[in-house]
Amino acid sequence: MRLSKAFIFYITVAWLGHFMVDLMIGIWPIYKTMARLDLAVAGLIGGFCAFAGEGMQVVFGSLGDKGYRKSLILAGIVGTTASSWFVYSDNYVAVFFLYLVTCIGSGAFHPSAAAILGDIGSTLGNKQGLLIGLFTSGGSLGMALSQILYGKAHIWFNGQVHWLSVPAILLVLAACLVRVKLKSDSGQTARPQVGWKTMWNLFKQREFCLLYICQVSISTLLWGTMFLLPDVLLSREYEPWLALGWGHMVYMLSAAVMMVPAGFLADRYSSRAVILAASLISAVCYYLFLFQPYLENGTVLMLLFGAGAALGVVNPVSIALGTRLAPNHKGAVSAFLMGLVWCVSEGIGQGLGGYLATLFSEDAPAKSLSIMGSLFIAATITAYLLPRKEEALEALETI
């Protein structure tokens, strides 16, 4: 089927928007290091804002289903640009509100953009996986390049990093001028609303409870490592190019590289096998990196690639497994295994990571992550207990 103007418009805006939104989200970890913020306070700010902002995905998802998707997508893109203004204040309260706006913007953007691409994929004939994968790649690339671009902006613009927000604002202005509509723009009143009761009903199902605990454990480690990685590398006296950009890029981009192979293996064997293997492989790379403080740059990048790839593929594979278990409740499953996981894991990863780092005087960030690594135990056990056969759960028809 040929792509219409509306389809091309929304696919383009979703991909570029995801790139810019996740780029802005990725600024926070390097900003707090460059600004020398107290790790405990920075962790508290990051944890609360992520929990509050990403937690609103459930609310924004319901608003999107009522016909406000385009507005939420554009407002979300603009909202996340607040992080480009961190450098203009050293006041913790001001930084808190800027990051809160950033996280709320992310919460507004993600569910509506993903839902629109899912609808386009259905219209084109079961192309949801292709379009969601394309959508994910934009965010992964933006997150991976965020710290490098932020550091370069300091040099290019003499510290005036607010110029990073210009492409996002231009994208929104251009999108406002385009007059195209999808059927979903007028509202989806027949679609069941996803709320907290739905989330609780999913959590009461054994399979989804196991998936959720596994996802939160792995995602907490993913976000906690991203938050403290610049501090770990700087405290171990690695070169600034590695500590303030390239290490983060390799760590985050590795997941995007491995998503397609992981999906193929999950379809070929089972999602359970991929999640279990990813948990074990990430634990090995994670602790090899943390317990060896004096490694060559190449070895560090290899271990970061392995840890990031293994941690990062758990989320998309888990969502795929969830939709197989509940094929008639894809929206609820996505909100449960994406938005509800992100808000908790981002909050704990940053908040707990920052607090634990204050308990030590030497190599504190690495020791903090070492303690948090105990979550690998929960992740491995719950992954092992996942169902071997991916059969739809009839009981979920009551949700």
pLDDT in tens, the chain (399 residues): 455 677 788 788 888 999 999 999 999 999 999 889 999 999 999 999 988 888 887 788 777 777 788 889 999 999 999 999 998 887 899 999 999 999 999 988 988 887 777 777 667 666 665 676 677 778 888 999 999 999 888 888 888 888 899 999 999 998 888 766 655 555 544 455 566 677 788 888 888 999 999 999 999 999 999 999 999 999 999 998 998 889 999 999 888 788 778 877 887 788 889 999 999 999 999 999 999 888 999 999 999 999 999 998 888 888 778 877 877 776 677 778 877 888 899 889 999 999 999 999 889 999 999 999 999 999 999 999 988 776 666 555 555
Q: What is the pLDDT of residue 390?
A: 65
Would you state the pLDDT for residue 1?
A: 47
Q: Please tell me the predicted confidence (pLDDT) of residue 41.
A: 94
Do 165 and 240 sit in the same domain of this protein? no
Look at residues 227, 210, 194, 215 and name the one whose alpha carbon lies nearest to residue 342: 215
Q: What separation in angstroms does the CA of 310 have from each of 200, 225, 252, 293?
A: 28, 13, 11, 21
Q: Which of 52, 45, 48 is nearest to 31 (CA)?
A: 45
Domain count, the chain: 2
Q: Are residues 155 and 258 in the same domain?
A: no
Q: Are residues 307 and 159 in the same domain?
A: no
How far is CA 281 from each of CA 136, 242, 376, rounded to the nearest angstrom?
A: 23, 23, 10
155 and 128 housed in the same domain = yes
Together in a domain, 277 and 163: no
Domain with 71, as residue range(s), is 1-191
Q: Do 181 and 249 belong together in one domain?
A: no
Pair (153, 207) in one structural domain? no
Tell me, yes or no, whether 201 and 311 share the same domain: yes
- The answer to whether residues 165 and 219 belong to one domain is no
Tell which of 158, 191, 224 closes a domain: 191
Nearest CA among 284, 285, 291, 287 for reference residue 304 = 285
Query: Alpha-carbon distance 222 to 307, whole Å?
Result: 9
Cut 0.75: pTM above it: yes
Residues 83 and 123 in one domain: yes
Q: Judge contact between 161 and 147, C-beta under 8 A.
A: no
CATH number of residue 278's parent domain: 1.20.1250.20
Among 148, 175, 191, the domain boundary falls at 191
Task: Quote the CA–CA distance of 372 and 359 in Å, as a whole number.
Answer: 13
Do 96 and 148 belong to one domain?
yes
Q: Is there a contact between 224 and 42 (Cβ–Cβ < 8 Å)? A: no
Domain final position from 191, 224, 254: 191
Do 378 and 231 lie in one domain? The reply is yes
Question: Given this model, what pLDDT does residue 189 score?
Answer: 45
